[in-house]
Structure 1
């Protein structure tokens, strides 16, 4: 009877870790089905898209674009505002970027007048997916998915750990 209680506690802890891993990473397809392109509906298109998302450390940004037609560069706010660029751009689409820090982050396309035409993205990255009101965020299913490589690794790690722990009890 005592070993059953221990096993239930261990199982509960492993399940909690697994759920945290799954909830911690979201893939955001920038612009949703439109992708990373010159906005057709106006310069506010990416502002509107970003306002419907919750970005947290560990999430992924996917910039879907045609290679040689667009690129993506993370820039400081001043460069975002002025559409000026220096640094190394990601020129091959799609571009996958892991969000590694909290705060404001800015991305632009450096080709031609694309940035001036509204092909730029500003996001605010939080430390967790919990909104200030305390409820979990609800990402839009059309623009996010939780089937990321990080989640697959986490699930495998948790399952291996669980099998090792269960082996100790049997």
Structure 2
């Protein structure tokens, strides 16, 4: 009985963390582009990114792509050996590690024109990390990424995903009551 209560409490903690996950559309309504003169550095500075958050890159794949790169590659707009490249035009990337994550468009001239993004996932001061191990998904349109391991600050504003959390809570409650009934 005590083991079931501990398991239920552990699941509740996981659910609470999931309910805090946010989805960010890079560049907001402008998306991932060079046309709208979006300041992606400013855009990222108005957000606080956490483990489990998702960043969505929406763009025309005929004119853009998304490359995840190292910090030196980001600084110099070097497209020679990206960590990963996304080309669907609707790429969702789940952040799985703390630290900086670097992206840019690999189309010649776009990175130099400012189509580049440095986002920082902060480590909470009073919480245990979910995972520091890099993971990735084989799907090109939805993937998880490790950080580049460079520390730095970032202010806040995020949309939560209460519907996913509510679904998980409902499932957990039904499982707990099913176990108590038996």
**Do the aligned partners of residues 139 and 164 (structure 1) sit closer, same or farther apart at CA in structure 2, a change above 3 Å counting?**
same
TM-score, length-scaled by structure 1: 0.72
Structure 1, unpaired ranges of 5+: 1-8, 131-136
Task: Specify the SS of the correspondent of 1:48.
Answer: helix
Cα RMSD for the two superposed structures:
2.9
What is the aligned partner in structure 2 of residue 69 from structure 1? 63
Measure how far apart 1:57 and its partner are: 1.2
Trace 1:58-97 onto structure 2 (pairs within 5 A).
58-85=52-79, 86-87=81-82, 88-97=84-93
Distance 1:128 1:26 in 2: 15
Measure how far apart 1:112 and its partner are: 1.9
1:38 aligns with 2:31: no
After superposition, give the CA deviation of every residue in 1:70-123 in whole Å (9 maximum; x if it has no partner). 000111111111111123421111111111211111100001201000000011
- Larger Rg, first or second structure (1 or 2): 1
After superposition, give the CA deviation of every residue in 1:11-33 in whole Å (9 maximum; x if it has no partner). x947665333211x111110111
Give structure 1 regions of 4+ aligned residues with deviation exceeding 6 angstroms. Answer: none
Structure 2, unpaired ranges of 5+: 127-154
1:161 aligns with 2:172: yes
Is contact 2:46-2:156 (8 Å) kept?
no
Picking from 15, 19, 23, the partner of 1:22 is 19
Is contact 1:27-1:61 (8 Å) kept?
yes
Aligned residues: 146
